[in-house]
Amino acid sequence: MYIRSMIEINKELMAGSLTPIVLLILRRQESYGYQIIQELKDKTEGELAVAEGTLYPILKKMESKDWIKGEWKRINSGRERKYYTLTKNGQKELDTQYTQLNFINDLITKLWNPQTSL
């Protein structure tokens, strides 16, 4: 399954929203895939669970666009994890997407409340 949630979210909507959400998480601190999934689950109080098969291709795509940088690090158990950090290009992309999402949100709000003029 693409995304498991208590609130049913359209796959295309979630796929388009996940990039800026992940960039926002990485803006605060470096993180690895499972940690990002857990943070999303925690922030939504368990209502949203992003599958690994959904997140990792998005991370790979963002890395190929130089929005994030991945670095393998050995953890205490001896295993390696790939930690991601936001790059300067990623911050620029986040700023752009944040502006675009705010514009769309404002438009939806205005259309939802017809008494508010466009």
| Per-residue pLDDT reduced to its tens digit, 7-47 | 677 778 888 899 999 999 999 999 999 999 999 999 998 88
- Rounded CA-CA distance 116/55 in Å is 37
User: Which fold, 3-112?
Assistant: Arc Repressor Mutant, subunit A (1.10.10)
Contact by Cβ (8 Å): 49, 4: yes
The mean pLDDT of 89-108, rounded to a whole number, is 96
Of 100, 20, 109, whose CA–CA distance to 68 is shortest? Answer: 20
% the chain with pLDDT above 70 = 92
Give the DSSP letter of residue 66.
T
Tell me what pLDDT residue 46 has.
Answer: 86
| Entry pTM | 0.84
Q: Report which residue type is found at 116.
A: T
CB of 86 closer than 8 Å to CB of 29 = no
Asked if 51 contacts 4 with a C-beta cutoff of 8 angstroms, the reply is yes
Q: Sheet containing 31-32: which strands, arranged edge to edge?
A: 31-32, 80-86, 68-74
* C-alpha of 106 from chain center: 20
Kindly give the pairing relationship between strand 80-86 and strand 68-74: antiparallel
